[in-house]
Amino acid sequence: MAQLVVDGFATYGFGSTSTGSWVAPNVPTAVGTAMLSGVWAQLGSSCAPPGTGVVLPDPAISTLPWAPADTDLYLSRSLATYNSGENSYLNSTCFRRVLPVTADPVILSMYYAISYLPPLEAGIVGFADSTNTVAAWLFLTAAGGLQLRDATGASVLAQTTGPVITAEQAYHLEMQFSPTAGTFTLNVNEVAAITTTALGALSANPTAQLRFFPVKYELNVFRPVQYLGNLIIRDTTGTYNKAITGDRRVATLMVNSDDPAHQNWTNHSLKKFGTGVASLLSGGAQIYCQEGTANSFKIGSSDYTLEGQVRYAALPSGTTYAPIFGAWQSSPAESGDWLFALGSQSYNNGQLFVRASPDGSLANAQVIWTYPWTPVLDTWYHIALCRVGGVLSVYIDGKQIGPAVTDGMTYGYTKKTPYLGNVDASANTDVCAVSMWLDDIRWTLGACRYTSNFAPPTAALPIGSGSDTLWSNVALRLTFDDLTAKDYSQFNHQCLFFFGATGTAVNDGVYNFQSMDNVPPNDQVFLSADFVAAQANLTFSGIPAAGDTVTVATKDGVTAAVYTWRTTLASAYDVLIGATTTACAANLVNAINGGAGAGTVYGTGTVANYDVVAYANPGPIMNVVANVAGTVGNSLASTRTGTATAWDSSHLYGGVDIPAYSQFGYQRLPSNATLVDSVTIATRMWKTDAGTATVVNSLRGRLGGLNTGAAHAVSTAPTVYLDTFEVDPDNPSAPLSPAVITQALLRINRTS
């Protein structure tokens, strides 16, 4: 295969690649982050020195400002002029494109433009080896000529006979260079401009990377802007595209349809219900709800249901917690009436918790309910907090988590203004680790809607007495569909976004391709091919009695593993009753895992469970996870006898198999496309944990033939992976054509 790099820049998005210069820290934007994640090795930064107060234009992706008819996107950067004796700028930060393999010779095809000719001269591209050592540079002179120079930029090796470049004009440059043979050919708009075979060996190493647009700072000098577009890099191997081929452009085709029979991956769209969500992604972001009718937010001793859709962009860190809903304050002194929040690992071991106070004081506040929960980031959950008859329960996606606990407290009513996503603070500070989205919030006061497991909502909750039989009990109803925090309940409370909270319009949830087709890439909107192990939780509400049992999975793949509580160990699979529930849970975990304490905390002869591994969590709660990922774990039994323990299910649950492939269609080729040299599939992928994940991209022809790409071992960092194809998937002996691409599909398949 000859095609090594095909880049049209539209996949990264339109705009600046960084958000500052020396005056402000140079932090990559979404555009720059996408370029750097596996494609471009380095982006240039503005080069004004500290203390000058000068802000130079950031590297950017844009159209040509003087050519509105040219819709191609170009990578651009302002250049400094060049003074003889100051060659160090050639080693400054460059746009660096590393080749997937070394090439000798290397063929470079690109569109090039400059806003005006440089006062002296400017470097365009350097041909470098794997150690970033440049063999030669292509320069533009003040008169518009092109020169091939040595590594220092001081010696001219070959040049055009006169000017070939003018300002504000895009030129197709195509060149072939061999540093080992000392040959160089350059065509400008398909006309030969330089041809030389007598340079002598400039390097013993082949080209491994190209360095574009080096810059340096010079005070009070105007800087022309150079533009690079339609980048194609080839070598001379393979069957097709292995020579200088003439004018080529890169068409960026986004996916625009799903194959209905193959929509197997999970869509993680930001859209949940309706047209908007609440974004609370900055420190201190919150939604403030002001009481409009006396006592309309007063819980007291009433039954209630707090529910809504919650999605985390990041988990709380440090010693903070992330409030979901509450009437609480953190400053000037911590106090409040009630709070439902997720703590950090350092705050309370990463547990969800409910805290309440009868009088608003921290001294009398109690943690009523707590449960360890680690939500998957960028995943919507329906969470419901319910109290009925003095008993409090919490449900996630319709499934009760943790125990139902006694909650007979009459909540205080000192703070009559509840908050979502944060607590009351005296200033706009990051008092809590908020980084989340909310949607479809409903607070039912005076009635409990859920007393057992239920099917989570698949559509927006109803509004109005005609569709909600408990509408008269609804104290707050937020949809965010008008991008405000408007309350649709009968009370019409004034609710406002504060400290960075916003309403976000969403339109990415109807089809899978809408979650894929984001420019610049949005890592919070994506598809996933999940491979999840089943699990279950055993909650200890008291000390087990002698003879009580816990059954989970099997001893050997066939025989049920039954663990019996004993005051004295006598047999294998006996478990010693501890002095506390925490000790009991620890002893059972050791027995299941075949851990420490054989013969002392569990019976001699007990072997590690064949199917699961166990973990002890605060509460105490024992969590078991299937050893083998997938739905096979969902059939493993989890039962018990006695009243001191309770499983949250009679079987392990939540196991998910790797799905079959998904397929997507493309936008149509430009109407003036007469040939197709190659297709490059660019996908931005990552995995959520340390397990293995391999993804394969393929190009499927209209007859079902496949060009299968590499098996990409995906990392935990979002990375762009590229697969390039040059032949017809239905006829491997033929090249690609526009007709083939018109009916082709992109196939994505997770293989491990």
Note whether 297 and 418 are within 8 A (CB). yes
Burial 140-169 (b: 16+ CB within 10 A, else e): bbeebbbbbbebebeeebbbbeeebbeeee
Specify the DSSP class assigned to residue 348.
H
Q: Which of 582, 424, 390 is nearest to 498 (CA)?
A: 424
Residue range 123-137: mean pLDDT, rounded? 94
**pTM, 2 dp:** 0.86
The dihedral built from the CA positions of residue 455, 456, 460 and 462, taken in this order, carries a sign that is positive
pLDDT of res. 54: 46
Distances (CA, A) of 627 to 561, 575, 614, 750: 15, 22, 10, 20
* Structure confidence at residue 58 as a pLDDT band (50, 70, 90): low
Query: Is 50's pLDDT higher than 60?
Result: no
Note whether 360 and 335 are within 8 A (CB). yes
Query: Is 423's pLDDT higher than 90?
Result: no
pLDDT of res. 80: 55
Residue range 519-525: mean pLDDT, rounded? 85
- For 721-746, what is the HEC assignment? EEEEECEECCEEEEECCHHHHHCCEE
pLDDT of res. 121: 84
Rounded-to-integer distance, Cα 89 and Cα 73, Å: 26
Domains of the chain are 3-234 (2.60.120.560), 276-505 (2.60.120.200), 535-647 (no CATH)
pLDDT in tens, 91-105: 666 789 999 999 999
Note whether 40 and 96 are within 8 A (CB). yes
- Enumerate residues 6+ apart whose C-beta is below 8 A from 10: 72, 73, 252, 519
Size of the chain in residues = 752
* Structure confidence at residue 23 as a pLDDT band (50, 70, 90): very low
- Enumerate residues 6+ apart whose C-beta is below 8 A from 144: 117, 163, 164, 165, 166
Beta bridge partners of 175: 108, 186
Rounded-to-integer distance, Cα 624 and Cα 534, Å: 8
Q: Which of 207, 146, 137, 212 is nearest to 178 (CA)?
A: 207
* Residue 367 burial (CB count, 10 A): 12
Residue range 129-133: mean pLDDT, rounded? 93
Query: Is 430's pLDDT higher than 60?
Result: no
Q: Are strands 560-566 and 574-576 parallel, antiparallel or unpaired?
A: parallel
Whether the bond between 732 and the residue before it is cis, its omega within 30 degrees of 0, is no
How buried is residue 218: exposed, middle or buried, by Cβ count under 10 Å (0-12/13-18/19+)? middle
pLDDT of res. 493: 94
Q: Six-digit token pair at 126?
A: 């350097």
Note whether 48 and 57 are within 8 A (CB). no
pLDDT of res. 21: 41
Rounded-to-integer distance, Cα 317 and Cα 334, Å: 19
Query: Is 409's pLDDT higher than 50?
Result: yes
* Residue 254, helix vs strand vs coil: coil
- Enumerate residues 6+ apart whose C-beta is below 8 A from 459: 273
Rounded-to-integer distance, Cα 25 and Cα 22, Å: 6
pLDDT of res. 44: 65
Q: Are strands 134-141 and 121-128 parallel, antiparallel or unpaired?
A: antiparallel
If one compares 45 and 549, the residue with the highest pLDDT of the two is 549
pLDDT of res. 24: 37
pLDDT of res. 221: 58
* Structure confidence at residue 451 as a pLDDT band (50, 70, 90): very high
The dihedral built from the CA positions of residue 218, 219, 223 and 226, taken in this order, carries a sign that is positive
Backbone phi, psi, residue 76, to 5°: -130, 155
* Structure confidence at residue 52 as a pLDDT band (50, 70, 90): very low
Q: Which of 542, 604, 607 is nearest to 577 (CA)?
A: 542
**Please, what is the average pLDDT of the chain?**
90
Q: Six-digit token pair at 678?
A: 């190659």
If one compares 699 and 509, the residue with the highest pLDDT of the two is 699
pLDDT of res. 92: 65
pLDDT in tens, 212-258: 988 655 544 567 889 999 999 999 998 999 999 999 999 999 999 99
pLDDT in tens, 566-608: 999 999 999 999 999 999 999 999 999 999 999 999 999 999 9
Q: Give me the percent of the chain exceeding a pLDDT of 90.
A: 70
Q: Give me the percent of the chain exceeding a pLDDT of 70.
A: 92
Please report, in angstroms and rounded to a whole number, the separation of the first and last CA atoms in the chain: 27
